[in-house]
Amino acid sequence: MRYVNLIFILLLIGCDSKLIDIKERPSMPEVTEPAKADYARYEAVEKAIEETFAKGSSPLSYVANKNPFSSAIEEYLASLKRSDQDNPLLIPLEKIKLVGILDSEVGKVGVVEALGQIFFVRIGDKIGNADGVIIDITASALLVRETNRDIFGEYHTSIKELRLSREEQS
């Protein structure tokens, strides 16, 4: 009960004796004539816009040359294939024959025969048509890691070996 009295006292203190009667609203002035518009300014702006676009503006024309949804890895691999097109050793490994191995202070070098020509290869060179890379050169063989992509888009690697024939080993 004490709180109710306190709230009532606060309401009485907060109220002002000068309450406005709803019926005594100030009257709105009567409109006798419409407002004047500055048409000269609007015409000047319109003229400036027309002059701006009359100077030979044209819509943007561009050609998108890159697919934003393509894989960056696939584009990188495609660029590697394009750069290796002049490599004559990008033929099936079955058509490449290991003729010899040269051993020096710098490292081992493989001597291969392909398409009737002799080539010298080292570790890291690309060989074969299945993205093959020479990973090791032993005393009697080249080890080649080939990367194949299956129909599901997964990559599989295999290690193949180019061996010296019995005639070259002697």
Residue-range definition of the domain harbouring residue 157: 88-169
Look at the chain and report how many structural domains it folds into: 1
Residue 75 lies in a domain: no
Instruction: Determine the 3-state secondary structure of 148 from DSSP.
Output: strand
Q: In whole angstroms, what is the distance from residue 135 CA to residue 144 CA?
A: 6
Query: Phi, psi at residue 94, to the nearest 5°?
Result: -65, -25
Q: In whole angstroms, what is the distance from residue 66 CA to residue 169 CA?
A: 52
Residue 16 lies in a domain: no
Q: In whole angstroms, what is the distance from residue 133 CA to residue 93 CA?
A: 11
Burial 99-122 (b: 16+ CB within 10 A, else e): bebeeeeeebbbbbebeeeebebe
How confident is the prediction along the chain (170 residues), in pLDDT tens digits per residue? 667 776 766 666 655 555 555 556 667 777 777 777 778 888 888 888 887 777 666 666 767 677 777 777 887 777 766 655 677 888 888 999 999 999 888 789 999 999 889 999 999 999 988 888 999 999 899 999 998 888 888 889 999 999 997 666 65
CATH number assigned to the domain comprising residue 152: 2.30.30.830
